[in-house]
């Protein structure tokens, strides 16, 4: 009844703080940093003479069970970091992944931070602004291993740019493998109805129409859905690729809503307010009216349900369909033959994909921590030895993957299956962490003939099946000849973005959904453009323009 | 009780029963659904096709819970919390409500103290100062923080205070005349007369402590100290489709994360103790148990 | 009366409660200062920069702040009314019921939905109101076109209020059941002797009997006039119904996702408290003036 309304509070009652916790931190911050002995030249894997203890926050996955029976107290990495670097990690607090942000926000707000932790971009910005973080420039430059630096540089400065504040590197960014959304489609339905995989938007419409109207699941009921979609229509420049959105259809109209692209006048413009986006919306509106898109778009929270239940014939997702949600779908129907294509194409026959921010996490170190380089060394070790010690219990880990990891693995798999190369030919590439295992096991997961990808030629019960299928079927499209990669001109949350984005996003999402679902006329778009500019969009654009120059 | 036998009255009774049955059915629906999901196959639950009966009946979820040490660990934390919380709330509520039910004539500062309570019921400093305060007290990771951090149950105090105030004054006065002190009067006279309202606020504090999960999240540094609802809450989350990381390890666990049958089973089991308590407390709500003997 | 010396016992009784109050509510109150600051964690409350009412101005300067405030108050008021009326009616219905066992069953069943979180219930509600759900199936029997209930801004607030009442009315009824036990049974007997029928007894004895409790709960609920229920709305809403469903708390939450807004969040909390406190105080004096009844 009168219970306090709590959930809101994460955001809402971030309230006060006492002065008592301040003194100590600032004192340590004033101490000269040089206390880390510069005796030996910087060795990325140098062992400390005295043990170094790092406290951290640990995000556990409640469903996690180590296959090797390891525990937090007793695991290979704990031993390895002690023996190789003389580093120990203490857990200040641990919490499930889903609640990690809440708990971290509380830590930030009460200035009660562990020594090192991995945070989000919002949190990073906040911590920098609050002066809670140690400058990592020197530690990174002197101690990062060549592999780490290679991966960082593969982003062409994009990763480092985001963590650089006034010329100082305040965090080490994650670098994730590049990926983009593609069309996942029921090949068995296509075959049954005598259709070809769609290439253009028109094809896509026809296929969707057939899927909806011609009872592809043969149950005699009109209960099938053309394209399954969730609540997000596309991601803006602040987020990674989302599952179950409509980005590729926008792309087919050369529309890149949410991205900063070059406008007609050559200046940066916001993709959502350009005429191409209106064209895409017009098409989506028609498709929705014709019943080709999930009727409950924008409302359905668990969009994957319709795929798992075998009701939907298409959806858009990254290469990882074989990881999720298809394994659940195959439990209901092991013969559902899901294949992936780089479609629909634009008028010039190109498949336009949005390249998202390569970093979705940032390793930061509390101001005043004496050994910031210890974190760099630790992650050098993680990257070098993951193939040996496995992926479990890598505390305070910077996730590093070469940008081309997914595609590279596909190429290698293909070569191995074709017999032109052997797994041993790919030895000595520790950055591609899963490559070795993938190549050694691919012939268990993939059945002959190796050049046929349909579901019946796979061993679904193999333990490496999920990755093998995702790479072979999904990552295949990373080499599609029609691929055209679009980058946002900026991936940075500037000050004015932070100030206005909540409202601008609300306006945008509401308008677009209403247009698609037919509860507002298409020309609402023009009003939206005006409102968007007036309500702060112009200011944001100006600031983004400045950051690019 | 008074009997009424007119036809109109009988029709009224019948309609009443029909309406109440309909309402009950509507209310049992979500629990029934949760139970059915917990008894279904994982893939059917993920597909959202479970309805009135389980799809692919099995007891795997329950077998899994029986093997889950964390579940029982949290269960025990919750039991401790509810036990301590209910007793302390009861004692403090009664002890506060009684003096506050006095008039200013008998208790001069009564109004000031009352309004401090009302004020504090509405205003709070927020989560972060509370966290820092609790930390300064050294209560992080202690079961006491679960019992106390919710603050004084002011709503219950006001409710009980009102009830006390409406008891016939004559009873108390005659006790005073007989030489009884306030402690004796409270324990021997007032409390027995207030059983229904005390049962109500006790139920409120039991249910409140049992269901509350946020303080476990905020004040506990490791899952070993979580109360049951915190443990459950961290599993029952909605996946955010707009931000899925393509870290292979995270991808591998996506299917596990949405293990709805197991979650449903946990929710269901966690509900049972609290459901058992209510019928037990119901006997304190019997009509006229208290005041029937009071002469006016 | 010779109970002058009792006051010191009264203070003693209040002591534990007030210690609790001071430790966990009053000490953390320093947090409200953040509402007037550009709060920086490293500096803390006492050294962050003072910015006066800037946080409040920001809140009111929004393009749609009017709409958000309206939605909040509209939904909260409707909930307040519904949470007053429905449990009272339901308690009266139960009170009229004669079969004691049936009564207990109904009581227990209707309080079940209270124990499920909104994350779970929102899934069930969305299924029930989906295109292929039971409600639309029923409409199709009458040859009506299916309605996308959750996407209709004109229906959304009512769905919110309706589902909240459904979840909580059983639990809220308990308090009235306790109040009903406080009615002296001899009143009914006397009325029956005077020839009053069932309806008369309901109107002249039962309803006045629980009216003070209802008034108390109503006045206390005024403190929540700016709380429309974050958990529920957050789990049910979507961009299509922003125009009628976006409330202060959901807005603050989205704002907080983008930046950790301590100052803003605290100001919102403070504003809610001030408004709630003013309303409660005002209604306290009005109630006192017109019904001569003091609730505190």
Model confidence over C136-191: pLDDT tens digits? 988 988 988 889 999 999 999 999 999 999 999 999 999 998 888 878 778 888 88
CATH of domain A182-355+486-548: 3.40.190.10
List of chain B residues whose C-beta atoms are within 8 Å of the C-beta of residue A16: 125-126, 128-129, 132
Do residue A110 and residue B128 have CB atoms under 8 angstroms apart? yes
Q: Does A9 touch chain B (CB under 8 A)?
A: yes
Per-residue pLDDT of chain B (296 residues; tens, 9 = 90+): 455 667 888 888 899 999 999 999 999 988 888 899 899 988 888 877 787 888 888 888 898 888 888 889 999 999 999 999 999 999 999 999 999 999 888 888 999 999 999 999 999 888 889 999 999 999 999 999 999 999 999 999 999 999 898 888 888 888 998 888 899 999 999 998 888 889 999 999 999 999 898 899 999 998 889 999 888 887 766 667 666 777 777 787 777 666 788 888 888 888 888 888 888 888 776 644 444 334 33
Do residue C151 and residue A298 have CB atoms under 8 angstroms apart? yes
Model confidence over C232-253: pLDDT tens digits? 999 899 999 999 999 999 998 8
C231, C246, C265: residue with CB nearest A14: C265
A432's enclosing H/E stretch is none
Q: What does each C-alpha distance from A128 to A58, A141, A366 come to in angstroms?
A: 21, 20, 10
Mean pLDDT value of segment A74-97: 93
Band of residue A38 on the pLDDT scale cut at 50, 70, 90: very low
Model confidence over A454-506: pLDDT tens digits? 999 999 999 899 999 999 999 999 999 999 999 999 988 888 888 888 889 99
List of chain C residues whose C-beta atoms are within 8 Å of the C-beta of residue A509: 239, 242
Do residue B120 and residue C25 have CB atoms under 8 angstroms apart? yes
Residue A64 scores a pLDDT above 80: no
Phi/psi region, residue A419 (left: phi>0; alpha: psi -120 to 50; beta: rest), is: left
What stretches of A202-318 adopt beta strand conformation (E)? 225-227, 260-262, 268-270, 312-317
B133, B234, B243: residue with CB nearest A242: B243
Do residue B30 and residue C120 have CB atoms under 8 angstroms apart? yes
In chain B, where the domains are located: 60-293
Do residue A519 and residue C240 have CB atoms under 8 angstroms apart? yes
Do residue C116 and residue B24 have CB atoms under 8 angstroms apart? no
A111, A231, A502: residue with CB nearest C41: A111
How far away is chain B from the Cα of A32, in angstroms, using its nearest Cα? 29
- As a whole number of angstroms, the distance between CA A541 and CA A546 comes to 9
Residue A16 confidence (pLDDT): 32
- As a whole number of angstroms, the distance between CA A204 and CA A184 comes to 12
List of chain A residues whose C-beta atoms are within 8 Å of the C-beta of residue B246: 176-177, 179, 240-241, 318-320, 406
- As a whole number of angstroms, the distance between CA A210 and CA A271 comes to 32
A7, A502, A509: residue with CB nearest C230: A7
Q: What letters, b where the CB count within 10 A reaches 16 and e where it falls short, cover C9-25? A: bbeebbeebbebbebbb
How far away is chain B from the Cα of C17, in angstroms, using its nearest Cα? 6
Model confidence over C35-46: pLDDT tens digits? 998 888 888 888
Q: Is the CA virtual torsion A417, A423, A425, A430 positive or negative?
A: positive
Residue A22 confidence (pLDDT): 37
Cis peptide before A449 (omega within 30 of 0): yes
Query: Which residues of chain A are in CATH 3.40.190.10 domains?
Result: 40-177+359-389, 182-355+486-548
Distance of CA B145 to the CA centre of its chain: 17
Distance of CA A428 to the CA centre of its chain: 27
**CA quadruple A388, A394, A400, A405: dihedral, nearest 10:** 50
The DSSP output letter for A345 is B
Q: Does C238 touch chain B (CB under 8 A)?
A: no
Four-way CATH pick for A40-177+359-389: 3.40.190.10, 1.10.1270.20, 3.40.50.10420, 3.40.630.30: 3.40.190.10
Cis peptide before C155 (omega within 30 of 0): no
B60-293: CATH topology: MetI-like fold (1.10.3720)
How far away is chain B from the Cα of A37, in angstroms, using its nearest Cα? 33
Helix (H, G, I), strand (E, B) or coil at A466: helix
Please give the domain boundaries of chain C with CATH numbers for all domains: 1-52 (no CATH), 63-291 (1.10.3720.10)
- The CB-based long-range contact list for A117-120 (8 Å cut-off, 24+ gap) reads A117/A56, A117/A57, A117/A363, A117/A364, A117/A396, A118/A174, A118/A361, A118/A362, A118/A363, A118/A364, A118/A396, A118/A397, A118/A398, A119/A171, A119/A361, A119/A362, A119/A364, A120/A360, A120/A361, A120/A362
- As a whole number of angstroms, the distance between CA C186 and CA C189 comes to 5
What count of residues does chain C have? 296
Reference C92, options C203, C190, C167, C217; nearest CA is C203
Least confident of B130-134, C96-100, C276-280: C96-100
pTM given for the model = 0.88
């Amino acid at each position: 009844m009168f219970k306090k309304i709590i959930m809101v509070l994460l955001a809402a009652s971030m309230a006060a703080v006492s002065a008592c916790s301040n003194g100590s931190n600032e004192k340590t911050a004033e101490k000269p940093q040089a206390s880390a002995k510069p005796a030996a030249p910087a060795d990325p894997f140098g062992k400390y003479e005295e043990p170094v203890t790092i406290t951290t926050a640990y995000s556990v996955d409640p469903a996690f069970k180590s296959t090797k029976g390891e525990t937090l107290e007793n695991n290979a990495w704990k031993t390895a970091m002690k023996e190789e670097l003389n580093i120990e990690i203490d857990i200040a607090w641990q919490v499930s992944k889903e609640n990690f942000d809440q708990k971290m926000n509380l830590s930030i707000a009460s200035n009660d931070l562990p020594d090192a932790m991995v945070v989000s971009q919002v949190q990073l910005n906040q911590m920098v602004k609050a002066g809670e973080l140690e400058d990592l420039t020197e530690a990174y430059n002197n101690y990062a291993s060549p592999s780490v630096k290679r991966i960082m540089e593969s982003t062409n400065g994009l990763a480092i740019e985001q963590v650089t504040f006034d010329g100082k590197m305040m965090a080490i960014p994650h670098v994730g493998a590049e990926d983009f959304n593609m069309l996942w489609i029921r090949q068995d339905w296509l075959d049954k109805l005598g259709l070809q995989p769609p290439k253009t938007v028109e094809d896509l419409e026809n296929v969707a129409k057939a899927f909806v109207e011609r009872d592809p699941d043969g149950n005699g009921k009109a209960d099938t859905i053309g394209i399954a979609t969730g609540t997000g229509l596309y991601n803006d420049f602040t987020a990674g690729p989302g599952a179950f959105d409509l980005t590729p259809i926008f792309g087919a109209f050369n529309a890149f809503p949410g991205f900063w692209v070059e406008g007609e006048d050559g200046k940066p413009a916001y993709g959502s307010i350009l005429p191409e986006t209106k064209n895409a919306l017009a098409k989506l509106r028609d498709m929705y009216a014709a019943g080709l898109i999930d009727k409950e778009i924008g409302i359905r929270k668990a969009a994957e349900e319709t795929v798992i239940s075998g009701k939907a014939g298409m959806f858009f997702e990254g290469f990882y369909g074989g990881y999720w949600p298809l394994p659940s779908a195959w439990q209901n129907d092991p013969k559902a033959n899901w294949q992936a294509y780089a479609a629909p194409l634009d008028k010039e026959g190109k498949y336009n994909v949005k390249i998202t921010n390569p970093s979705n996490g940032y390793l930061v170190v509390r101001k005043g921590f004496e050994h910031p380089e210890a974190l760099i060394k630790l992650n050098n070790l993680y990257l070098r030895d993951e193939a040996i010690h496995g992926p479990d219990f890598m505390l305070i880990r910077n996730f590093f993957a070469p940008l081309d990891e997914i595609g590279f693995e596909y190429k290698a798999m293909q070569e191995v299956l074709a017999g032109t190369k052997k797994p041993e030919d790919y030895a000595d590439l520790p950055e591609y962490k899963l490559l070795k295992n993938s190549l050694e096991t691919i012939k268990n997961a993939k059945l002959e003939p190796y050049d046929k990808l349909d579901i019946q030629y796979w061993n679904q019960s193999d333990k490496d099946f999920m990755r093998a299928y995702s790479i072979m079927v999904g990552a295949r499209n990373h080499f599609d000849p029609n691929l055209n990669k679009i980058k946002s001109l900026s991936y940075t949350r500037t000050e004015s973005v932070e100030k206005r984005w909540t409202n601008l996003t609300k306006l945008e999402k509401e308008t677009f959904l209403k247009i698609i679902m037919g509860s507002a006329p298409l020309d609402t778009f023009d009003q939206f453009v005006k409102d968007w500019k007036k309500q702060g969009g112009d200011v944001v654009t100006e600031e983004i323009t400045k950051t690019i120059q | 009780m008074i009997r009424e036998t007119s036809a109109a009255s009988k029709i009224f009774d019948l309609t009443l029963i029909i309406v109440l049955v309909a309402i009950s059915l509507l209310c049992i629906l979500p629990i029934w659904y949760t139970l059915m999901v917990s008894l279904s196959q994982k893939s059917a639950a993920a597909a959202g096709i479970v309805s009135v009966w389980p799809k692919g009946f099995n007891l795997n979820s329950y077998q899994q819970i029986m093997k889950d040490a964390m579940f029982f660990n949290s269960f025990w934390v919750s039991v401790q919390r509810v036990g301590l919380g209910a007793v302390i709330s009861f004692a403090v509520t009664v002890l506060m409500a009684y003096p506050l039910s006095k008039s200013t004539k008998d208790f001069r500062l009564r109004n000031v103290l009352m309004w401090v309570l009302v004020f504090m019921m509405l205003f709070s400093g927020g989560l972060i100062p509370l966290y820092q305060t609790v930390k300064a007290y050294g209560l992080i990771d202690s079961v006491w923080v679960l019992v106390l951090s919710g603050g004084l149950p002011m709503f219950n105090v006001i409710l009980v205070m009102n009830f006390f105030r409406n008891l016939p004054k004559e009873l108390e006065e005659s006790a005073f005349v007989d030489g009884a002190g306030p402690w004796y009067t409270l324990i021997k006279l007032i409390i027995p007369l207030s059983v229904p309202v005390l049962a109500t606020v006790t139920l409120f504090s039991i249910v409140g402590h049992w269901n509350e999960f946020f303080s476990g999240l905020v004040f506990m540094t490791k899952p070993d100290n979580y109360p049951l609802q915190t443990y459950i809450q961290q599993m029952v989350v909605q996946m955010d489709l707009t931000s899925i990381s393509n870290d292979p390890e995270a991808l591998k666990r996506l299917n596990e994360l949405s293990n709805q049958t197991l979650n449903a089973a946990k929710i269901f089991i966690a509900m049972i103790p609290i459901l058992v308590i209510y019928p037990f407390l119901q006997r304190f709500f019997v009509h006229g148990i208290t005041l029937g003997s009071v002469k006016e | 009366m010779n109970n002058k010396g009792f006051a010191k016992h009264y203070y003693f009784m209040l002591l534990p409660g007030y210690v609790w109050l001071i430790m966990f509510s009053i000490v953390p109150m320093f947090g409200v200062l953040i509402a007037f600051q550009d709060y920086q964690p490293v500096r803390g409350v006492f050294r962050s920069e003072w910015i006066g009412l800037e946080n409040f101005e920001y809140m009111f300067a929004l393009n749609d702040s009017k709409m958000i405030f309206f939605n909040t108050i509209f939904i909260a008021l409707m909930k307040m009314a519904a949470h007053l009326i429905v449990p009272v009616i339901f308690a009266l219905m139960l009170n009229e019921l004669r079969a004691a066992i049936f009564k207990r069953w109904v009581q227990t069943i209707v309080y079940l939905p209270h124990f499920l979180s909104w994350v779970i219930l929102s899934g069930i509600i969305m299924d029930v109101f989906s295109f292929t759900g039971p409600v639309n199936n029923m409409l199709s029997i009458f040859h009506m076109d299916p309605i996308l209930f959750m996407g209709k801004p004109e229906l959304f607030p009512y769905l919110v209020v309706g589902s909240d009442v459904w979840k909580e009315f059983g639990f809220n009824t308990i308090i009235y059941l306790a109040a009903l036990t406080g009615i002296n049974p001899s009143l009914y007997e006397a009325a029956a002797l005077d020839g009053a029928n069932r309806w008369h007894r309901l109107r002249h004895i039962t309803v006045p009997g629980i009216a003070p409790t209802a008034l108390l709960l109503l006045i206390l609920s005024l403190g929540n006039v700016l709380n429309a229920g974050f958990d529920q709305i957050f789990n049910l809403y979507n961009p299509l119904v922003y125009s009628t469903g976006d409330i202060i708390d959901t807005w603050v939450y989205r704002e907080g996702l983008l930046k950790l807004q301590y100052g803003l969040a605290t100001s919102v909390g403070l504003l809610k408290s001030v408004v709630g406190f003013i309303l409660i105080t005002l209604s306290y004096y009005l109630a006192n003036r017109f019904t001569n009844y003091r609730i505190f």
